[in-house]
Amino acid sequence: RKEVEQDPGPFNVPEGATVAFNCTYSNSASQSFFWYRQDCRKEPKLLMSVYSSGNEDGRFTAQLNRASQYISLLIRDSKLSDSATYLCVVGYSSASKIIFGSGTRLSIRP
C-alpha cells in the first residue's frame, strides 16, 4: 500500500461546479499536510497548507481528518483555470520526510 494515495481521476466537471477530492495517508505519525498544484508540463507549486482546524483560501477549502487519516480539497465555483493535477503531500517531521501523492487530475469544461 502506498503511504499517500489519491484517486488519479480524471475528474471532469462543468465550470461553476463544486468538486472535492480526498487523499489518504497510512502513517499516523504524519504531522504536516499540503496541497500542491501542477499544471500540464509545469512544475508543482504550493496551493495551500492544511491545518488541523481546516482552512480556506478563496474558493479553496482544505480539511484534515486525523481519525480517518485523510485530507480533502474542495473547490467551489470552479473555473477553467482550475484544470490541473492536484498533489497531496504529507510530511513526517520525526523522519524529516515528505511524500507526494501521485496526484488527481481535474479538468473543468466550459
Give the interface with other proteins as residue ranges (CB under 8 A).
31-32, 34, 42-46, 49, 87, 91-103
CB neighbours of residue 84 within 10 Å: 21
Q: 75 or 89: whose CB is closer to other proteins?
A: 89
Q: 78 or 104: whose CB is closer to other proteins?
A: 104
Q: List all residues 6 or more positions away from 31 whose beta carbon is below 8 Å from its beta carbon.
A: 91, 92, 93, 94
3-state secondary structure 14-68: ECCCCEEEEEEECCCCCCEEEEEEECCCCCEEEEEEECCCCEEECCEEEEEECCC
Q: 42 or 109: whose CB is closer to other proteins?
A: 42
Coil vs helix vs strand at 78: coil
**Shortest Cβ 41–other proteins spacing (Å):** 8
**Shortest Cβ 90–other proteins spacing (Å):** 11
**Shortest Cβ 85–other proteins spacing (Å):** 10
**Shortest Cβ 36–other proteins spacing (Å):** 8
